[in-house]
């Protein structure tokens, strides 16, 4: 993850997402700092939502949709595939 020193107010009022912003500095991917894989925050004890999220992720990965999205927007696959 990399951040630009752009003030928060400017980011929230922009009507053209992405314009005028850039990633700066090295990409931080070292598991020492960011851990392994990815995560979604879910309220403790909400097993039903966790199950729904896992099913949805499994579904888009099985259909190939996840791969399309990942290739379009990201440099690497969070699953390491």
CA distances from 63 to 21, 55, 57, 66, 68 (A): 33, 12, 10, 8, 10
- For residue 17, the model assigns a pLDDT of 62
pLDDT in tens, 37-68: 777 889 999 999 999 999 999 999 999 998 89
Q: Is the pLDDT of residue 15 over 80?
A: no
Please provide the size of the chain in residues.
81
Put simply, whether the predicted model's pTM sits higher than 0.95 gets the answer no
- For residue 2, the model assigns a pLDDT of 44
- For residue 54, the model assigns a pLDDT of 92
Evaluate whether 19 touches 4 at the Cβ level (below 8 Å): no
Of 41, 34, 40, which Cα lies nearest the Cα of 57? 40
Q: Which residue has the higher pLDDT, 77 or 47?
A: 47
- For residue 80, the model assigns a pLDDT of 65
Of 43, 72, 39, 80, which Cα lies nearest the Cα of 57? 39
Tokens representing residue 13 in the block: 């009022």
């Amino acid at each position: 993850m990399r951040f630009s020193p752009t003030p928060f107010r400017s980011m929230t009022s922009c009507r053209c997402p992405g314009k005028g912003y850039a990633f700066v500095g090295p990409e931080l991917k070292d598991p020492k700092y960011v851990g392994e894989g990815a995560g979604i925050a879910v309220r403790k004890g909400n097993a039903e939502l966790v199950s729904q999220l896992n099913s949805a992720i499994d579904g888009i990965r099985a259909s190939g949709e996840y791969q399309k999205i990942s290739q379009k927007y990201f440099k690497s696959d969070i699953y390491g595939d």
